[in-house]
Structure 1
Amino acid sequence: MSTAVEGVGYVLCIISWLITGTALGNDYWKVSTVSGNIITSVRQYENLWHSCTETSTGIAQCQDFESLLGLAGYVQACRGLMIVALLMGLACLVIALLGVKCIKIGSASESAKAKMVIVGGVVSGLAGVCTLTAVSWYANMIVEDFYDPFTGGIKFELGGGLYMGWAGAFLALLGGGMLCCACKRVTPAGTKGGYHGAQPKRIFAPKSESEPKANAYV
């Protein structure tokens, strides 16, 4: 049963890493809305790297954010968190691959392999936390700007890239938790917890004086 759980957890970590990478490159982190505004034939959308404008004919023009220091602080932080999440996710896949029970690589003991799987699960969980923090922070800023009456110009709503990021974070946390189930393999089989005292010693009682001697005088 533990082998199946670890295998499923590893597959979830792979899917999470792919979804997180796709979310990072997705163009639609925030999309312009026509709510409360005059309907126009132009749509705008942004992500962490560039801003795009799309006309009703389907032609889009994108402009990269050239100045790093000119960006908002939360955008820079989200960039860093997403990149760190991808690197940690890749590290999780490498570390956990060396310790998964169904894969034999090298001559490491069962306990050492279990510890590697646990480390991979923890790293996957941290990657999920980084992704979750980035997309939630970005979404929170969109919501604040949307409901801020003093913010003029175009209003934006949540884009599909954020939902992909939330899905990747959830799978990373779930897969990491399933990998951490390998902690059952750290304890050698047959060993039970608790205190085991020493075996009692045999006590030899002296023979009674009334017993007849083996060698009697004739």
Structure 2
Amino acid sequence: MSVMLQEIMAFVLTTTGWVLESSTLYADHWKVSSNDGSVITTSTFWANLWKQCVTDSTGISNCRDFQSMLALDGYIQACRGLMIAAICLGMFGSVLALVGMKCTKVGGSDRNKARIACAAGVDFILSGVCSLSSCSLYAHRITTEFFDPMFMSQKYELGTALFVGWAGAVLCILGGSVFCFSVADSCSKSHSQANYIFRGAASHSHITAYTRGQKKSVNERPATDNSTSSRMQHFDKNVYV
């Protein structure tokens, strides 16, 4: 598979994951609990990172927003921060991916585009890790309260928003890894091509130098003997005697 196809596949995966993470932040059902009081009346309790609601059998919901951020539980504040960080990192990663992909015309040389694509892959991986940590932390709190026999308040179960957040995190991590691996493959291919060109140039210069040496040895005139030149001079002196 070519590097361009790998980058396109990675961009589709990471963009889909980023959209799922963004929809998870304001999703309603992070945790859900059903209370079947009677045959006629059924109430559904659910909550997310911003409010806590109850829905009756007629579909009417009564919600109570979390008023004070400082008065919230620590795990809710941590989940908020991690999800916001995941969305911001995914946004920056999308911009860098569009600049660093080989199918685009911006970004400069191939080396610069490879660096930008690698940075985009790292951003998406970090985004997936943040979303995965947020959903896992929230789910751990739900399961801890559910299986605690000493916890006497309303018990909840895992909501659909957690599964959407996990799916988005996995897609971002996979897409970011494909970005990094595609950059590594392109760098290794360019290095092998450069090494081949260097070896070819070195062998060509060696052959050229050898050929020139051969020509020089063939065209070189034999040196004159000193004894022969001295004899000629002696013959010239006696020629007029």
Retained in 2: the 8 A contact 1:48–1:79?
yes
**8 A Cα contact 2:34 2:42, kept in partner:** no
Q: Is the 8 A contact 2:34 2:43 kept in 1?
A: no
Unaligned stretches of 5+ residues in structure 1: 208-212
Provide the residue aligned with 1:54 in structure 2.
Answer: 55
CA distance in structure 2 between the partners assigned to 1:11 and 1:20 by the alignment: 14
Aligned to 1:123: 123
One-letter code aligned to 1:152: M
Larger radius of gyration: 2
Equivalence for 2:10: 9
Give 2:71's aligned residue: 70
- The aligned residue for residue 171 of structure 1 is 171
User: Which structure's relative contact order is higher, taking Cα pairs within 8 Å and 6+ residues apart?
Assistant: 1
Over the aligned positions, Cα root-mean-square deviation in angstroms equals: 2.8
- Answer yes or no: is the 8 Å Cα contact 1:33–1:157 preserved in 2: no
Give me the whole-angstrom Cα distance separating, in 2, the residues matched to 1:148 and 1:33.
Answer: 18
Aligned to 2:139: 139
Equivalent in the alignment of 1:210: none
Check conservation: 2:99, 2:113, Cα contact below 8 A: yes
**Could you state the TM-score of these two structures normalised by the residue count of structure 1?**
0.86
Q: Which has the higher helix share?
A: 2
The letter of the residue matching 2:30 is W
Mapped contact 1:31–1:43 kept (Cα < 8 A)? yes
- Partner of 2:154, secondary structure, is coil
User: Equivalents in 2 of 1:186, 1:94: separation in Å?
Assistant: 22
Number of residues paired by the alignment? 208
Deviations 1:158-215 (A, max 9, x none): 000000000000000011011112223335361249x97x77786x7xx9xxxxx576
Partner residue of 1:191? 194
Distance 2:62 2:37 in 1: 22
Q: Give the Cα separation in 1 of the matches to 2:103 and 2:47.
A: 43
1:76 and 1:136 map into 2 onto residues whose CA distance is: 14
